[in-house]
Amino acid sequence: MSPAEWRQLSERSTEDSLQLCQSVYLAWHSESPIMSHISSQCLYFLMLLSPVMTSTITEDIEVLVLLPQNNSYLFSRAKVAPAIRYAQQRLRTDGGQFSGFHFNIQFENSDCVSDALFLLVDRSCGQKPDLILGPVCEYEAAAVVRLASHWNIPVISAGALAAGFGNKNTEYSQLTRIAPSYVKMAETFTAMFRHFTWKSALLVYEDDKLERNCYFTLEGVYHLMADFNINTFALHQDERLDTDHILQTIYDTEVVIMCMGADKIREIMLAAHKQRLTTGSHMFFNVELFNASSYGNGSWKRGDEYDSDARQAYASLNTVTLLRTAKPEFENFSLEMKMAIKEAGIHDCKDCASVNMFVEGFHDAMVLYAIALHEAMKRGYSKKNGTEITSRMWNRTFEGIAGQVSMDVNGDRNGDFSLMAMTNVEEGTFEVVANYFGVNGTFQLLPAFNADRFTLRGRHTAHAHETPDKSCGLGVSALTGVIVGAVLGTAMLIAFYFFRKNYRITIERRTHAEDDDTGKHRQLREDSIRSNFSAA
């Protein structure tokens, strides 16, 4: 009999024996010698089983971690591995119910393209891992999670945040996302739009056509806010920033939501300020989830001649970011991570001043898996039953390194986000003015919140001007009819002349555009990152 079968039998026998002892106790007052003998045997049986009921479960777990070695990534091995080791040490030495788990962790390099998939296939030719942590990048994660789901291996990632991974019925069935997805972030905007009765938004994002971080970030907004008037404006990473073109598009919208590098956001804000679009007629937002300067961290200061204008422009820029915690244990964790990064020789890490959500997330991934595995094994399931273990990671709340972590019924972490705004224009300093709590969908306004800054003013005001009557006695209506009739007649003749000439060109352009769209949708199908935003 296997250990799992013995545990299951023991637990069932214990439950049955408890019921038997209860019946014996009720019959105890009969003072029958037979009853006394049965009661003694019952107590002896429970004493034998008590070690099984209280002993720590011991198990070896093979963990495959797929992270890039390139330290330019916020989730490189050097930055994330210390968090995983930290969690491993805590689980082993706290003397609790998880101390019997021995995690054999193997780190492998991923390149955000295909390395992770090949490594998983090669490694699984021998012994398949019991748990996979990562990958983070969308396209690489899609391939790995599909294969892991086929093999019934749990995958926990602090990445794979795109909207397409939300469908876990089939190919992503084993994926648990320990960091809030982009759709979770978008709930913050939905709450604000409903609270302030905004109707339209322009999503301006930088698309590198490779990892497409900002593309997927604002895809979540587009995906969730279908009830609002949402338009998109894409900037290629290598293209010159055409602020005039962007501003022309901004005029017709209420809210501008941006995701791109900090320098480009500054350039757009300077141009908008010059055109007086930062006077309350439009709302500007920046998305910054990872504590990284590459995502536009709201910093306006560059030490150049435009700093003064930039400071005033940024008074109209609000930043959506993750809600941070001041939990004492997290402070110690942060210090440990910073020391580990220094020991790894990453001395020029601009984004290592604070722990990002990837580092925090992979720590919590180890804790969540240990909780789910322990529950499953107590009920007689094997560590190889990925479906059972994964289901126990979903729809639960547990204590993570930075505070309480809530997982929804779909295996995605509920996110808490903060809204930051400039509260001191003279100093140019930002402060959290509101928080959004994903568990209950509430939007909390803090004392620093200024309602005037979130009220749209002076938009599209029409000014009526009196003009002298120049109709020569015909009257305005009659004169207008003559002019319009003449113009329409001329336009129809010109249109007919050019119609035949341009018909072939029009058809060719339409065919070419349809071919481009077909190729684009084919690529999305192959990558299994499906979205309406992708076709926008």
CATH number for the domain that contains residue 205 = 3.40.50.2300
Structural domain harbouring 216: 183-325+416-453
Question: Does 337 share its domain with 438?
Answer: no
Using CA atoms, how far apart are residues 54 and 10, in angstroms rounded to an integer? 12
The H or E element spanning position 250 is: helix 243-250
pLDDT score, position 1: 46
Under the banding of pLDDT at 50, 70 and 90, the label for residue 490 is low
Report in angstroms the alpha-carbon separations of 27 from 13, 23, 44.
21, 6, 18
pLDDT score, position 315: 93
Q: Does the pTM of the predicted model rise above 0.85?
A: no
Query: Mean pLDDT, to the nearest integer, of 119-132?
Result: 84
Q: Which of 242, 314, 532, 289 is nearest to 416 (CA)?
A: 289
Query: Domain total for the chain?
Result: 2
Structure tokens of 281? 């007629």
Q: Which of 242, 121, 262, 191 is nearest to 444 (CA)?
A: 191
Give the pairing type, strands 429-437 and 101-109. unpaired
Which are the contacts of 235, defined by CB distance < 8 A and separation ≥ 6? 204, 205, 206, 207, 241, 260, 264
Q: Which amino acid is at 521?
A: H
Whether residue 532 lies inside any domain: the answer is no
Question: Does 87 share its domain with 142?
Answer: yes
Q: Which of 377, 357, 413, 360 is nearest to 130 (CA)?
A: 377
pLDDT score, position 56: 76
Question: Does 338 share its domain with 321?
Answer: no
Lowest mean pLDDT among 106-115, 160-169, 391-400: 106-115
> Is the pLDDT score of 50 beyond 90?
no
pLDDT score, position 38: 47
Question: Does 264 share its domain with 352?
Answer: no
DSSP SS3 for 246: helix
Query: Mean pLDDT, to the nearest integer, of 163-190?
Result: 95
pLDDT score, position 361: 96
> Is the pLDDT score of 481 beyond 90?
no
Question: Does 333 share its domain with 426?
Answer: no
One DSSP character per residue, 181-215 reads -HHHHHHHHHHHHHHHT--EEEEEEEE-SSS-HHH
Question: Does 116 share its domain with 221?
Answer: no
Under the banding of pLDDT at 50, 70 and 90, the label for residue 39 is very low
Under the banding of pLDDT at 50, 70 and 90, the label for residue 64 is very high
Q: 425-447 pLDDT, tens per residue? A: 998 989 999 999 999 999 899 99
Question: Does 189 share its domain with 293?
Answer: yes
Q: 492-536 pLDDT, tens per residue? A: 555 544 444 444 444 444 444 444 444 433 343 344 444 445 444
How many helices (H) and strands (E) would you count in the chain?
14, 15
Whether residue 528 lies inside any domain: the answer is no
Question: Does 309 share its domain with 431?
Answer: yes
Query: Mean pLDDT, to the nearest integer, of 300-315?
Result: 92
Whether residue 483 lies inside any domain: the answer is no
In percent, the amount of the chain with pLDDT more than 90 equals 56
Question: Does 250 share its domain with 386?
Answer: no
pLDDT score, position 444: 92
Question: Does 385 share its domain with 346?
Answer: yes
Which residue among 413, 438, 467 closes a domain?
413
Whether residue 2 lies inside any domain: the answer is no
Whether residue 293 lies inside any domain: the answer is yes
pLDDT score, position 180: 96
Whether residue 37 lies inside any domain: the answer is no
Question: Does 95 share its domain with 116?
Answer: yes
Whether residue 49 lies inside any domain: the answer is no
pLDDT score, position 140: 94
Question: Does 110 share its domain with 200?
Answer: no
Whether residue 244 lies inside any domain: the answer is yes
pLDDT score, position 515: 47
Q: Which of 203, 205, 137, 206 is nearest to 165 (CA)?
A: 137
Under the banding of pLDDT at 50, 70 and 90, the label for residue 208 is confident
Query: Mean pLDDT, to the nearest integer, of 39-54?
Result: 44
